[in-house]
Structure 1
């Protein structure tokens, strides 16, 4: 905080130095005297007409400039202040946007290229030509020889039928039966020409590949349907990649994938996405993506771990486009089949489908997406803020709507135009200065005047909370957070109706936590709205104006927090829960909640990348609603509410 105050002083000096160079020959219009209002940079709802300390956080109140109301999000800096703060800007432009998705997986055989050789008739294995797994065979090569009584009998019937011209139809039927038994054609011709039965019949490989399974040995007796061999064609392979939920919006059927394996660090192999599994694995939270890869040289082997890289090209609005597939037709089962005309797939015979029906947006080469540098964006919850340089030295904050992130940029959905100049370095310094001035900023989108219904003083002359050694409280330390609330002296007495209404809001809040712990987000959204409605329904009858303004501020905060929880984006749920939690914590301690239900102040230091967050519970056992089942027990009890003394007690 000292660093922010020092920076504010330096920027203030820069502004003064810049103002000193103004042309003094211009007449100045007389301005009416406006009383100075003091506010808290962290809690702009706190206002008073004199200096003092914030009753919530203990920070020193700062003057609120009334002239900022014309453009409350504007900040003017002199050239010296800009140089001191190292402010740098960039021009918003349109450009090609490519999102790189890295996936990991394993190579497996192509299931459509696995052939199982079975016995078509009972018999005995007389000879194996292939006697170990891994043998490479070509289509038609010998695998084994088999003797069968049934086969000898069928051959004898054929020889007998061939002796009589009147039985040609019978002979043709017997030969067809032999063909159905996979008897090679040359052996059938040998039987016809010699009129002698063949006692050992060959079993040939139905396809080329590698023998991946051997189920018989010399001399084994087999039955009809017994498995003998399995031959797998490894000239084409499948790669099963694991894609997380956040990757799915970028993946499309037919996309090209670069495959790399540790065995060949200098080489990459090209494949195409042929199938995206429609179901999510609940254990790994991933979806299997199948890629077809050509392996004519035999370098890739099933079982290898590989990395798959997908380059997703984005068009206007952040939609995935494929320039090479514009106006093309693709095989629905074989993505390697791409045609300029409609027709049938030459492999499976299914009708080809337009690429636009497989998830690709229409490609418009003349309108690339609008991009903003990622370092220019200040993000908090669902809001994204950038600072534009309107004129030299004048910076204006603007909320924008972001699309997906592509490397070092975000796609802009709305809020910016081509040619806008945004701050890429020093945006947080500008935002901090606006926050110190109690003007709209990243964390406080409303000004103090907007947050409060009137300009009445909301604080009394009270000393800000200090620790025992006289130092200011550190709001990042959970122990100091507890001490701060333990020492706050601004409390108001209320009647029973107020206490009953607050108790009802707490019970709905506990129900919300339960739904979040159970990952039931649909019910949690309804519960959040119920909490906000009950906070809003707390009666104001009989409370003083200062107390009324605190209550109204918390009602607004609760309503905004519940709105965040209604959004589908997971990252909005934590700010929403924190907003409701902080609103209820303030109401409990400020209005001396008197309830029979136990109340515990909890804290988890790991929320928001170790920033930490608080919540309330009616049990001492930690059930962290910020992380849910993943880290349910992460946290600690900071304090226990004492309804008799209306204060926090140390946990036992």
Structure 2
């Protein structure tokens, strides 16, 4: 009995310890979880997938579309990133299958330019049939578009009170034909001005009755493309009745973009295709390039004359033309998969740090479309690392994190709004100040001297001069002693060399100036981070350069001599800073 009681006491004690352990351990866990949750809450942020500008500190729904808010991944390091930059987790990168590559010069030597246009009548064969005298249209035989007519063929009847009176005057003059033959001849000849034939005039004289309805004869042969006249309506002399065109030849009228015009010239052959004839139609040669650019569309009309004796091509048909042109050397290109288009804008995602999962949205200006790539006019430099596969996934991640993206270039917060005005610093991978005093002083100053001579060449707007001085600058760059320089300096020198090489090989002044903008950005960075400069220089800025994006340059003279416009706007700009 005693043993049984002892067992009960021992059991109660053990149970009490167990309950105490569970209770206190649970409370400790709860306390830890509460602390952790509190810690997490302070760093958590929710946003809307459709409206990334919405940022809330707790869960809920979007005030704009009522969708559930999603959690934004927190990372203390992101606070130092710009609005264009964001970070992705390693897991997200693995799932997205992201691929990157360096921006390089094109290995292709040909470019295929594609043009879109429409079939039009040949304006040189177009004609307008007009009324030769005042009258009322009694009958139209060419009464629908597409009617084929021949020159001299009757196409209608017209009643003219004036012609009726002129015929009566003729019949009156017949009575004194023998006594006053000269007067008779004058009256008779006047009817020829109404385009009455000798046969018709003799019929009037013989029948002694004037013609009531006068036949209308076609002035040209062709196909009726427009009808302005209608039966029963009165028309004055010279009023248009029909438009007629000879469709044995037609025009293919294309819109060529500003960036394409440099590769097009009169006499070049094009391959022509239409959806109506998928296997192809024919080839044609450029007959005319409009000398004036349409300011709203930024295009110029390119015209091709096409033989259409088989009648396959109809005015109004859509048509595509492709032309193969030689590509200039030193052209930067990116794969087509890297570019995201939204209206007139093009963006790519830059990877500014090769070993870190950071990405940066960068706006670029693209030129000609090559086989598998695009020409880059501005926004990137040789050696930049960009996303070539998975760009849409990167863009979606940027939207979810409330960063600038393809669909959202304006970042809004509760307190302020920022607009994306891209600057030179946004277009460069060099976000870190680099010390350039490790370069030899004489080599550094020779480099700056050759840069300033190149700048002066751009002021003259002379392509030969700019190419010549770019070659001199390239030689100065190649002579730099890079042995003691860190890798980051070497990479910048390499990019400097590639940009200068582009200027020395391109024959298009506009493209040269876009590269000069990138060159100036790097040269200014070198000057600002070096104490080796011998002369005083001025950093100058033109807000209208590069299509109003603005651009900087260095000058020895305080007076503005604009290298981006030359004589067109020689003194446009201002001095930003003086460097002693």
Larger Rg: 2
Q: TM-score range by the shorter chain?
A: 0.3 to 0.5
TM-score, with length taken from structure 2:
0.43
TM-score of the two chains, using structure 1 as the length reference = 0.39
